[in-house]
Amino acid sequence: MVRMVLVLVVLTAAWQLTPNEIHWPWLWIAAGVLILPSVLSNILQMRVAAQMDRWAASQGLTLRGFELEVFKKGPFTWTTSDCQRVLRITAIDGDKKLRKGWMVVGDWNLGLLWPKIRVRWD
């Protein structure tokens, strides 16, 4: 919300000024405030995917798919924080059996910044 207000103020001010009157450093700062969270979010998502792949390889599994669960958290309903991500995963083990389960990625406090994975199979 604060970001949106800041952007509206900067854009309104910039709209009324001629190019010679625009304070370009403030415009770059406003652009950074808008773009930086999106870039960081994408980096964290790539890290999570890499962590999941490494975990699967260390367990001798092949991940077939996963789905982010926002409301249903399965067996992790009372043991996860908002910083962690709960996923419904499907994997194939060494015996070519299809397995389904729940995965929690991240630490209780540090969230996705800490490479921690817990899994419970159905």
Asked whether the whole model's pTM tops 0.75, one would answer: no
Taking the domains of the chain in order of start, what are their residue ranges?
A: 2-121
Give whole-number Cα distances, 9 to 13, 14, 18, 21, in Å: 6, 8, 16, 16
> What SS3 class is residue 38?
helix
Nearest in space to 111 (alpha carbons), one of 44, 36, 25: 44
Percent of the chain residues past pLDDT 70, beyond the cut: 80
Nearest in space to 104 (alpha carbons), one of 55, 35, 58: 55
Helix (H) or strand (E) holding 9: helix 2-16
Q: Could you report the per-residue pLDDT of 16-71, keeping only the tens digit for each?
A: 655 566 666 777 787 778 888 888 888 888 888 888 899 999 999 998 988 888 88
Contact 33, 9 (CB under 8 A): no
> Quick one: pLDDT band at residue 103, thresholds 50, 70, 90?
very high
Report the pLDDT value the prediction gives residue 58, as an integer from 0 to 100.
Answer: 92
